[in-house]
Structure 1
Amino acid sequence: MSLIHPLPHLAQARIATYTLFFICGVLLAAWVSRIPAIKAHLGLETGELGLVLLGGPLGLVSAMPLTGAALARLGSRRVVTAASLACALALPLLAWAPNGWALALALFLFGFFNAAMDISMNAQAVEVERQQGKPIMSSFHALFSLGGLIGAALGGGAAAVGLGPAGFFSLVALGSILWLAWATRVLLPTPPSPPGPLFVWPRGVLLGLGLIVFCTGLGEGAVGDWSAVFMRQELGSSEAVAALAFSAFSVAMVVGRLSGDWLNERFGAVWLGRVGGVLAAAGFGVTLLSSHPQGAMLGFVLVGLGYCTLFPLAFSAAGNTPGISPGLALASVATLGYLGFLVGPPLIGLVAHVSSLRVSFALVALLALLISWMAGLLRPRA
């Protein structure tokens, strides 16, 4: 049973959880924005960098079962406190690595703690949403997306003024720790779950929710890794215009998530999921049928508006699945979501190699329609 707290404490916990999501987005984007500088500093070839970057996904996958077990035993407040502080402290290690092997190890640690922070802050968000008594999960994920935009902008600004990755990462880590020192003190305590398995592979409803987040993660990864390539290769746009495709998608994600809770409360999670899947598929369709960059950009905006609420809806439904602790349920479903992020871009590249990038995007659009068909699983459960 949830622990009930007076409204002022609940309001503080909600703001603190917003802070966690925002910082998680900032930390991740700060690293991504300085990858070219670190590549140049270490003198890594493109192929070498690709191997080094595998450290992050390996850490991420390793964190899943351990985080779910820790959440069941300790509750989300303790786990997210430790994971978020460790994630911030791990960021400067990425710039201090003297060679590729050390960077791979640092990425393993950063990926591990970032994933642990992600799952545990979603578990805390489920508890806050449950006590709030209305849908608010989408707004939490909006802060993550906003943090990503801010982190990327800060990284670009740091590069423009000549601030190296080591100094930039240290400043971001210090600022994050100061915010976390307050936020982690006012989170809601959650009771531990009875002894049980350390990890639950998704079955039944959780498997369906996992497939929804897998298709969503694959689609988001497709836009992140291939939208600029599509704009350049298929439509002949300039490099600057091509880069705007992902920016347009990201802004649409933020705007959509900020309105997602209101739409959820007004129309329900199932309706929102069905519309989201259809809208994402339609966005890919507009992009594929466009002969000009402006039309393709509009398509990527529609894709962002379609995908924006699917992760929050699926995580909220998983965290409220009867008969299993929220932490284990979230870790189980998120594993498939992360798998979509990881395998999606390479699969799209493989399909594009044997056919075309247009065919790859068409297949992703079909998966978006599959999300719409499965949206009934997003219905809230007591």
Structure 2
Amino acid sequence: MGVASWVVRIPAVREGLALSEGVLGLVLVGISVGALIAMPLSGALIARFGSRPVARAAMLGYAAALMLPPQATSRLLLTLALLVMGAASSFMNVALNTQATAVERRMRRPVMAGLHAMFSVGGLIGAGIGGVIAGAGVDPRWHLAGAGVLIAALSLLVTTALLRPGTDGAMGGPAFAVPTRPLLLLGAVAFCVLVGEGAVADWSAIYLRDIAGAGPGLAAAGFAAFSLMMAAGRFAGDALTVRFGPARLVRASAATAAAGVVLAIAWPTPWAAVAGFGAVGAGLSVVFPSLVAAAGRLPGVNPSMAIATISWIGYTGFLAGPPLIGFAAEAISLRGGIALVGITSLMIVALAGTLSRT
């Protein structure tokens, strides 16, 4: 909900500081830099203090950081505010995923995909409410301050139900360790899946407009279909994991994503491309939650450190995907660039067996 609240106010913050598109793009990198810096540290802190205290502190920190961007009076201050937001988000994600792995162990059934689906629900709620507030002309400082206060209050409430330190399986073990081969293989899969997610987020609308010939409204439908099918796939993911097992499910899902890419580039018409990107969303939906669950089960590795490691490797893929598509589009064509998402999906198919060994 917090992410969506910020995203819908980016245009207002940009206008307030008179930032060009290029400068805004550079400033927004602050979130990514903060996240990448914090991920390795998050695993160490969780191993020392437990996931519940770190989750609570990170959620409150994120709520406070959410209020900062519209207060910024320069591009430097905005960049620093976003860096803090990215770091807090990273601590929060690793801590909550560590909690989720412990809950799965206690319940003895998969729940990870459904929990990740709630991120999509929060995004839809935040975007819906934020759009109404922005449309009403409310100052972004008041909007994000109100969102921050709400998130802080909810954080204090919900974190009381989290597993206490010592019962979440996260404490103990070395703060830092050399990643094992199984962990690196899981990280490689995470890199591949987040290359696809980042690429579709940044390039689907451009592909629909420039290659498929869609109008502005329909061009946005590609990412909408991707997002909706990803949420649906995650809600169904836990039941499918029980029925087919994580390795078979990830293999079949990645193959579905690859087929979606083929549909989008082989028949570059608007609705075929929308359907193709929807299939990519459905196919990739269960992969990262399955990886988080598998990392948390690795023997001899602290769950928080394992989750932080694959998250860090995966996030580099999320950052690398869009520029890789851009370079490929310059060298070949945008259709060739989008084909990279199909290639990384096939790499997931090849590496899916890693999940059966955890």
| TM-score over 0.5 for the pair | yes
Aligned to 1:278: 255
Does residue 300 of structure 1 match 2:272?
no
Aligned to 2:292: 315
Mark the CA change 1:85 to 1:287 in structure 2 (over 3 Å): closer, same or farther: same
TM-score normalised per structure 2: 0.96
Amino acid at match of 2:339: A
Residue 161 of structure 1 and its aligned partner are, at CA, apart by 1.2
Mark the CA change 1:54 to 1:177 in structure 2 (over 3 Å): closer, same or farther: same
Amino acid at match of 2:297: N
Per the alignment, in what secondary structure is the counterpart of residue 211 of structure 2?
A: helix
Aligned to 2:136: 161
What are the within-5 Å matches in structure 2 for residues 20-39 of structure 1?
26-39=1-14
Per the alignment, in what secondary structure is the counterpart of residue 19 of structure 2?
A: coil
Aligned to 1:324: 301
Does residue 199 of structure 1 match 2:196?
no
Residue 317 of structure 1 and its aligned partner are, at CA, apart by 0.2
Residue 318 of structure 1 and its aligned partner are, at CA, apart by 0.2
Amino acid at match of 1:156: G
Does residue 373 of structure 1 match 2:350?
yes
The 8 Å contact of residues 274 and 372 in structure 1, kept in 2 or not, is answered as yes
What are the within-5 Å matches in structure 2 for residues 92-111 of structure 1?
92-111=67-86
Moved more, 274-283 or 175-184: 175-184
Aligned to 1:361: 338
Moved more, 247-256 or 48-57: 48-57
Residue 154 of structure 1 and its aligned partner are, at CA, apart by 2.3
Alpha-carbon distance in structure 2 between the residues aligned to 1:57 and 1:38: 18
The 8 Å contact of residues 202 and 333 in structure 1, kept in 2 or not, is answered as no
What are the within-5 Å matches in structure 2 for residues 1-382 of structure 1?
26-191=1-166, 193-196=171-174, 198-200=175-177, 202-379=179-356, 381=358
Alpha-carbon distance in structure 1 between the residues aligned to 2:267 and 2:124: 27
Residue 359 of structure 1 and its aligned partner are, at CA, apart by 0.5
Residue 65 of structure 1 and its aligned partner are, at CA, apart by 1.5
The 8 Å contact of residues 38 and 91 in structure 2, kept in 1 or not, is answered as yes
Per the alignment, in what secondary structure is the counterpart of residue 216 of structure 1?
A: helix
Residue 163 of structure 1 and its aligned partner are, at CA, apart by 1.7
Q: CA RMSD in A?
A: 1.3
Alpha-carbon distance in structure 1 between the residues aligned to 2:352 and 2:7: 32
Alpha-carbon distance in structure 1 between the residues aligned to 2:114 and 2:237: 7
Mark the CA change 1:152 to 1:199 in structure 2 (over 3 Å): closer, same or farther: farther
Residue 380 of structure 1 and its aligned partner are, at CA, apart by 6.4
The 8 Å contact of residues 318 and 330 in structure 1, kept in 2 or not, is answered as yes
Residue 44 of structure 1 and its aligned partner are, at CA, apart by 0.6
The 8 Å contact of residues 210 and 334 in structure 1, kept in 2 or not, is answered as yes
Alpha-carbon distance in structure 2 between the residues aligned to 1:216 and 1:168: 33
Residue 195 of structure 1 and its aligned partner are, at CA, apart by 4.7
Q: Mark the runs of 5 or more structure 1 residues left unpaired by the alignment.
A: 1-25
Moved more, 143-152 or 71-80: 143-152
Aligned to 1:8: none
Q: Tell me the number of residue pairs that the alignment of Structure 1 and Structure 2 aligns.
A: 355
Mark the CA change 1:348 to 1:200 in structure 2 (over 3 Å): closer, same or farther: farther
Residue 162 of structure 1 and its aligned partner are, at CA, apart by 1.1
Moved more, 104-113 or 354-363: 354-363
The 8 Å contact of residues 319 and 327 in structure 1, kept in 2 or not, is answered as yes
Residue 152 of structure 1 and its aligned partner are, at CA, apart by 2.0
Amino acid at match of 1:117: M
The 8 Å contact of residues 58 and 111 in structure 1, kept in 2 or not, is answered as yes
Amino acid at match of 1:330: I
Alpha-carbon distance in structure 1 between the residues aligned to 2:142 and 2:179: 42
Alpha-carbon distance in structure 2 between the residues aligned to 1:219 and 1:327: 25
Alpha-carbon distance in structure 1 between the residues aligned to 2:180 and 2:38: 20
Alpha-carbon distance in structure 2 between the residues aligned to 1:378 and 1:171: 42
Alpha-carbon distance in structure 2 between the residues aligned to 1:380 and 1:88: 38
Percentage of pairs with the same residue: 42
Alpha-carbon distance in structure 2 between the residues aligned to 1:312 and 1:249: 17
Residue 46 of structure 1 and its aligned partner are, at CA, apart by 1.4
Alpha-carbon distance in structure 2 between the residues aligned to 1:203 and 1:361: 32
Q: Mark the runs of 5 or more structure 2 residues left unpaired by the alignment.
A: none
Mark the CA change 1:201 to 1:169 in structure 2 (over 3 Å): closer, same or farther: farther
Amino acid at match of 2:291: A
